[in-house]
Amino acid sequence: MRRFRSTDTAPERALRSALHHRGLRFRLHRQVPGMARRTIDVAFPSAKVAVFVDGCYWHGCPIHGKTPQRNSAWWSEKLRRNVDRDKETNQALLAAGWAVVRAWEHEDADRLAEEIGALVRSRTKTGRGSSTGSC
Ligand SMILES: [Zn+2]
């Protein structure tokens, strides 16, 4: 059976390089805990942050995820299954103590990397001291 999600899409690569620029270390295509056949697009194992870059088309983005006119019954079933699967994956990760970030492929890689970086930092407390406010 053909897989719809490519493992190396352009939006994913853009995000990865934006994360790299911020000095963030991550793992690619890590297995979802307890789900042998699913992988996390970009994983931060020590912070337990999982990032998925979802294709607008296949995952029903509110902006670009329009149902095609032809075959719309087939399509909405397919889409529903993808969305269900995403939810299932989220739940498995949350149950294992991970934070899940779901990004649409149309989102700005730099802005995403910024958000992800903040999340990762807030979840990794590697003795950076506790500075309170002042720069
Ligand atoms: Zn979109």
What are the pLDDT digits (tens) for 93-129? 999 999 999 999 999 999 999 999 999 999 987 645 4
**Residue 64 Cα to ligand 1 middle (Å):** 4
DSSP single-letter state for residue 41: E
Assess contact for 45 and 94: CB atoms under 8 A: no
Structure tokens at 123: 């979840």
**Residue 15 Cα to ligand 1 middle (Å):** 15
**Residue 132 Cα to ligand 1 middle (Å):** 38
Residues 95 and 114: their CA atoms lie apart, in Å, by 25
DSSP single-letter state for residue 82: H
Q: What is the pLDDT of residue 14?
A: 94
Residues 34 and 16: their CA atoms lie apart, in Å, by 25
* Percentages of the chain per state (helix, strand, coil), in multiples of 5: 40, 20, 40
Residues 19 and 114: their CA atoms lie apart, in Å, by 8
Please tell me which residue, 89 or 129, carries the higher pLDDT value. 89
Give yes or no for residue 36 having a pLDDT over 60. yes
**Residue 4 Cα to ligand 1 middle (Å):** 16
**Residue 58 Cα to ligand 1 middle (Å):** 10
pTM of the model: 0.82
Q: What is the pLDDT of residue 126?
A: 61
